[in-house]
A and B are shown apart, each in its own frame.
Chain A
């Protein structure tokens, strides 16, 4: 072995060198703490209708936080995150209904299966060098494949879906509470906080830095000794696992899940929209986007259900939500390429 020349083994600089200061992780956790306080207090002061919107928003946010790890930081644009949301939702339904297993265990099992499925799909796509739109289309195809599969499997009850059994009394272990219980807000809030904490730690970790380097320039990353495939699959596993957890909670909250609620293309869109509107590849972007999209989705739904006089022609019109998302997306893409949070962050820096 030829030793590296001694004088080239650069010493390392003192840890307290001011040029090395990076408070971003600490600051992010301060914000996360403040967010935790707000989310803890919110259900105590809000009414039932507000709580419905809050839960919807929190589910959007968890899906988008998951999507953002793989597609925002990892640069692998998934158009098929319904696959992983659906795995979480169906693993829960199947284990709870057929085996009486706790949803908390189903949540962990679902996340593991989703992570494995994601790694399988992504490694196939990357193995055959699908990139950009081709990668996105391949993930979309896999999500559709899962949808068809579920609709044709007897043990997953084909198109019928699963209804959860209603227990005689509340149970934290079985994740079931009275309608309108504050706990139904606190649980997804807690899951979101965990997802955000994982994001904050991951993006400044060695693996997270490597995956961002590979996103910026794959060839340069490999030339610096990074196993690009491995770091990307790590991001995919985290991403799919987090998104699957939102699916598990969805089933528990609605007491029902069917193929389209779980694996429908709309879910894949719902994973992308909040992240793109808020700012992909940023910690807070998906949450900011969900805070806009969540209430908006609820508003659209209520307008359609019971339109005010002037809008009565909208009664029963399907697909209005998608039209509004599309309009929002166009505005964002035209005026705020990096999303609302991403653009503001850049301006504030300058």
Chain B
């Protein structure tokens, strides 16, 4: 059964159609990749699904419920959680309290929320920075903090927006390994990524977008050999 179902999603911004009639399904426990050149509409697609932007047309059904037009906080509260490409820590707070904000959705008491947050921080291997101010984290740490906050909500579906961007190659491998573990533990993930090695290593299915429309959808290795995809996105190196 599909966990997420998007039908004919379209978003027009005064004259520009950022997402144009995109339909997709994400199955429970699937790892679903989204790629496409800059401006293809990937992040807008995430914003539509996460409720930050209301679609011009189309429907979003999550876990059997039509969530089209729901606000972002309501979407998050039913288990559909996103992270941001440009990290958005709560800068006045420590790493622990950042994650505890998310844990507070399940735990009313502060001490329980922090105990839960600590477990999540250990899960993403950020324990070195538990009580550090979040503003002091390096990029790789901030990426993990984004991930930790989202995981602390115990999402049914996690939308990851370029979680590897900005990381040097030596930082990428452990992050890919972490994502693989989380998926093995049963997490359903939809992710936008530019690093093709990671996309191919992790995705079970892949959506290629170009100028707002679906260019190809299916098995990652087949899709990336598709003539149109190679021309539109991957460039000469792959042709």
Determine if chain A interacts with chain B.
yes
B-contacting residues of A (Cβ < 8 Å)? Answer: 1-2, 4-15, 17, 19-20, 22, 204-206, 209-210, 212-213, 215-217, 219-228, 281
Find A220's partner among B88, B120, B186, B187 (CB 8 Å cutoff): B88
The distance from the CB of B220 to the nearest CB of chain A, in whole angstroms, is 23
Contact status A216-B92, CB under 8 Å: yes
Q: In the docked arrangement, what's the CA distance between A209 and B116, Å?
A: 16
Contact status A8-B187, CB under 8 Å: yes
Contact status B91-A216, CB under 8 Å: yes
Residue in B52, B76, B108 with the greatest tally of chain A CB atoms within 10 Å = B76
Contact status A1-B63, CB under 8 Å: yes
Cβ of A215: which chain B residues have Cβ within 8 Å of it? 92
Cβ of A221: which chain B residues have Cβ within 8 Å of it? 73, 90, 101
Find A209's partner among B82, B97, B154 (CB 8 Å cutoff): B97
Say yes or no for B96: interface residue by CB 8 A criterion.
yes
Contact status B186-A12, CB under 8 Å: no
Contact status A225-B110, CB under 8 Å: no
In the A-B complex, the 3 residue pairs with the smallest Cβ-Cβ separation, listed nearest first, are A5-B186, A220-B88, A225-B76
Given known contacts A1-B63, A12-B115, is B84 in contact with A223 (CB within 8 Å)? yes
Find A8's partner among B71, B102, B149, B182 (CB 8 Å cutoff): B182
Contact status A220-B84, CB under 8 Å: yes
Say yes or no for B58: interface residue by CB 8 A criterion.
no
A-contacting residues of B (Cβ < 8 Å)? Answer: 1, 3, 28-29, 50, 52, 63-64, 71-74, 76-77, 79, 81-82, 84, 88-93, 96-97, 100-102, 104-105, 107-108, 110-116, 118-120, 122-123, 127, 130-131, 149-156, 182, 185-187
Contact status A223-B93, CB under 8 Å: no
Cβ of A227: which chain B residues have Cβ within 8 Å of it? 73
- With A4-B156, A224-B149, A225-B105 known, 12 other A-B pairs at CB within 8 A are A5-B185, A12-B115, A20-B115, A206-B113, A209-B100, A210-B104, A213-B101, A222-B72, A223-B52, A223-B73, A225-B153, A226-B101
Cβ of B73: which chain A residues have Cβ within 8 Å of it? 221-228
Find B89's partner among A6, A210, A217, A281 (CB 8 Å cutoff): A217
The distance from the CB of B62 to the nearest CB of chain A, in whole angstroms, is 10
Q: In the docked arrangement, what's the CA distance between A209 and B150, Å?
A: 17
Nearest opposing residue in chain B for A227, CB measure: B73
Q: In the docked arrangement, what's the CA distance between A73 and B167, Å?
A: 33
Given known contacts A11-B119, A219-B88, is B79 in contact with A4 (CB within 8 Å)? yes
Contact status B110-A216, CB under 8 Å: no
Contact status A205-B110, CB under 8 Å: yes
Cβ of B113: which chain A residues have Cβ within 8 Å of it? 206
Cβ of B3: which chain A residues have Cβ within 8 Å of it? 2
Residue in A14, A19, A220 with the greatest tally of chain B CB atoms within 10 Å = A220
